[in-house]
Chains A and B, each alone.
Chain A
Amino acid sequence: MTAESFTLDQAKATHPEHTPSGRRFADLPVHLTLLVIGLAIATPIIIAFFISFTPLRELVSRANPTLLPDTWTFAGYEKAWNATPFGRFILNSFIQTGIITAAQVLFSILAGYAFAMFEFRFKNALFAILIGSLIVPFELTFIPNFLLISDLGWANTYAGLTVPFLASAFGVFMMRQFFMSIPRDLYDAAKIDGASDWRYLWTVMAPLSKGAISAFTIFAFLSAWNQYLWPLIITNEENMRTAQIGIRFFLVNQERATDWGAIMAGAVIVMIPTLIVFIVAQKQLVKGIAASGLKG
């Protein structure tokens, strides 16, 4: 099964309880169970949303936590937005994520194409090197990378945030798999018509692979957006922090009683872009993740 052909929304006849029609009433327990589970899972996010509108005094003074504030306030958002440059953090995150995603997609297409279409020396060795890098955990490389980036003077720059992640062995692999599934006749025909590899890649292969490419794009976007350890160590200027690191500093550096309203406001601000991506591109996202599980 390829990433392309797979979609979770084909809720087709693949369930033990598959019933072709009718029996809507019998579905009720399933509806209820799913609703309860769904709400339970979404609860932390829902709570964050309501707490972000609750004044601090109300939070610490009321006997029991309640979901809805007695008085709704935007003070948390004001405080979060003014005390910490969340706007800048989100911009940084977008720049960082944009560069990483664009480069990973582009480079993966190029390298995937080479592995799928060309015969060249040391191909097997290079492929092994590529695949080998997949099992090297980030924890092994981040200290030397930190020192290297620091020596280059790239700490606190977008270069420092992005350059180590511009390539993705997983992406190369995914692209190669997909390109190999495209009939080679097309390639031979294009060659006879005198098309160069470069043209063939961008005018035939890439459009044919839109599904796989967009699935990988979203996958890459999310991994980059959610990066934590690397931005934490490589940025120390407030202006260069990403959204994830921004929320951490905002939380840890509460000077007096923790203002949960403001912190949840910050969390909501940071969550919104990904929630939008999630809602808009849910299908692509799910496809990309499922593809990583279904192995091409």
Chain B
Amino acid sequence: MATTIEKTPATGAIPRKRRSRPGWGTTGKAYLYLFPTFFILAVFVYFPIIESFRLSLNRVAPFGSQEIGVGFDNYRRLLTSPDFWDTVKVSVYFMIGTVPVGIGLAVAIAILLAYPLKRLNGLYRTLIFVPVVISSAIAGTLFKLLYNPVVGFFNYWLSLIGVDGPNWLNEQSWAVVAVTITVVWRQLGFNVIIALAGIQSIDEQLYEAAKVDGAGTFRRIWHITLPMLSPTLFFLAVVNVIISLQAFGEINILTDGGPGRGTTNLVYQVFVDGFVGTRFVGRASAQAFLLAVMIIGISVVNFRGLRGRVHYQ
């Protein structure tokens, strides 16, 4: 992930001044080692950015062989269209729904998991980490069953405690919740692992000192664990924000963006415009560009944050 920059003083890594310019011999050798990676990145990451931008300035025929140059019209129409802002809104809902809940749950579970139990540790970890290996497609499939109004379990369980369960996937407001729960669940294993790693890297002596001072469990969590965990929490926040913006598989399987456009986030709209029914590739590309601006913006904030962190350490 982008966040791995911390240890890379990207500008100061090579003490340039002290050495003479590297010769072409070494350079050639280095380029051979680098070639496969950079070839792939050039063709499938950097070139597509240019091509994507070019497409976004065109209207491409849905039946596939003509283009009409429209300048920035795709962008203008998107930015002035309520539909576009609805997809932005849905993206933001997912973000608000998944990030705090997902991280909060993960930290709480990680604190419990860090408790030095004598046995059964392995079992709990296995049960709790398992969503890590579950794909979005499978997560969507499993939860589609749970939400099903006829054969599903969620509403049955709710009825046991006297609650009349909602129509999970067919009412807009609940569909957003349903997708959010699924994404939180699939992301939980990853988040717990990261949070646990963060907790376990906290210096034990801090706790000992606090104990001597007579601080109770919750005070120790509040005053030591959480502050010391803040870099990890920041990392989790950034990763989860990006993941929530990119939610796709669950939506594709659970709701197909519906009901209405209730769960059509930006990614999903790009997919629909680019690949479903009547294809409007130019518009899709323009949206992809706007989405990329959002994600890159968040990544940059992330870089900044990490740089700050290096300083305070």
Contact = CB atoms under 8 A, between A and B. Distances in A.
Question: Touch between A and B in complex, CB under 8 Å?
Answer: yes
Interface of A: 1, 6, 8, 10-19, 24, 27, 30-31, 33-35, 37-39, 41-42, 44-45, 47-48, 51, 59-60, 64-65, 103, 106-108, 110-111, 113-115, 118-121, 123-124, 126-131, 133-148, 163-170, 172-174, 177, 197, 222, 225-226, 228-229, 232-233, 244-245, 247-248, 251-252, 258, 260, 263-264, 267, 270-271, 274-275, 277-279, 282, 285-286, 289-290, 292-296
- Most chain B beta-carbon contacts within 10 A, residue among A65, A135, A140, A294: A140
User: Shortest 7 CB-CB distances between A and B: which pairs?
Assistant: A38-B127, A293-B194, A167-B40, A114-B33, A144-B48, A144-B51, A120-B30
A166 B124 contact: no
Contact of B36 (A107, A267, A294): A107
A264 B54 CA distance: 43
Contacts of A27: 115, 117-118
B94 interface: no
A121 B81 CA distance: 48
A271 B7 contact: no
A13 B204 contact: yes
Contacts of B3: 292, 295
Given A233-B275, A251-B253, A263 B199 contact: no
Overall SS of chain B's interface? helix
Given A41-B188, A144-B48, A11 B1 contact: no
B198 interface: yes
Contact of A64 (B156, B185, B271): B156
B130 A15 contact: no
Contacts of A247: 137-138, 141
B116 A48 contact: no
A38 B117 CA distance: 15
A284 B192 CA distance: 16
Contact of B123 (A38, A111, A168, A260): A38
Nearest to A197: B29
Interface of B: 1-8, 10-11, 13-14, 16, 19, 21-22, 24, 26-27, 29-31, 33-34, 36-41, 43-49, 51-52, 55, 109, 111-118, 120-121, 123-146, 148, 150-153, 156, 185, 188-190, 193-194, 196-202, 204, 207, 210, 217, 220-221, 224-225, 232, 235-236, 242, 246, 248-249, 252-253, 266-267, 270-271, 274-275, 281, 284-285, 288-289, 291-292, 295-296, 299-300, 306
- Most chain A beta-carbon contacts within 10 A, residue among B11, B22, B125, B145: B145
B271 A170 contact: no
B26 A15 contact: no
Contact of A47 (B48, B137, B153): B153
20 contacts: A14-B199, A14-B204, A18-B116, A24-B118, A27-B115, A41-B189, A42-B130, A106-B36, A107-B40, A118-B29, A145-B48, A146-B275, A165-B44, A173-B8, A228-B135, A244-B135, A270-B137, A282-B126, A285-B132, A295-B5
Nearest to A285: B132
Contact of A14 (B29, B31, B41, B114): B114
Contacts of B232: 293
A229 B249 contact: yes
B310 to A, nearest CB: 10
A244 B207 contact: no
A244 B112 contact: no
- Most chain B beta-carbon contacts within 10 A, residue among A33, A141, A164: A141
A295 B4 contact: yes
Contacts of B46: 129, 133, 136
